[in-house]
Amino acid sequence: MAECCCGSEGVKLLYSCSGGADVGALADRIARRLAKEGFGKMSCLAGIGADISGFIESAKCAAQNITIDGCPLRCAAKNFENRSIKPLSFVLTEMGFTKGSTEVNVETIETAMKKLENEFKKMKVNKAITSTNNCC
């Protein structure tokens, strides 16, 4: 059995869709900004999808796994659900962004951040990193 590769016990891990659509690019930019601002640490969604044991074990021992998907297909969240790990899932199209017509710029990122931070407040998701290790 693999061990957690980033000392992720107690850490919120962030995973984003980075798909080919504009809302996927927006999800990626938001997740990176959330990590920079201390809401959690980014980890590798591709590592989850590829069943790499270190990533799977890190997700299992994280305090919380947060997925940010661009569209209703929820590819990021499904990577976890297919492995019986329940993430806290957010979908940008459910927040008013439209796939195929959302420009990814500073203004859109700010708007999306505010909407997501409001969702975090409703769900009592706080800034919290208890480990300074980098994830795989």
Q: Does residue 129 belong to any structural domain of this protein?
A: no
Which residues contact residue 7 at a Cβ distance below 8 angstroms, ignoring those fewer than 6 apart?
A: 131, 133
pLDDT, mean of each 10-residue run, the chain (136 residues) = 53 92 96 93 96 95 96 96 96 96 96 93 72 48
Q: Does residue 27 belong to any structural domain of this protein?
A: yes
Q: Does residue 130 belong to any structural domain of this protein?
A: no
For residue 111, the tally of other CB atoms under 10 A from its CB is 16
Q: Does residue 74 belong to any structural domain of this protein?
A: yes
Q: Does residue 21 belong to any structural domain of this protein?
A: yes
- d(CA 56, CA 135) in angstroms, rounded, equals 12
- pLDDT for the residue 1: 44
For residue 52, the tally of other CB atoms under 10 A from its CB is 16
Q: What is the domain extent for residue 50?
A: 15-122
Number of folded domains that form the chain: 1
Q: Does residue 9 belong to any structural domain of this protein?
A: no
pTM over 0.75: yes
- pLDDT for the residue 5: 52
Q: Does residue 132 belong to any structural domain of this protein?
A: no
Q: Does residue 5 belong to any structural domain of this protein?
A: no
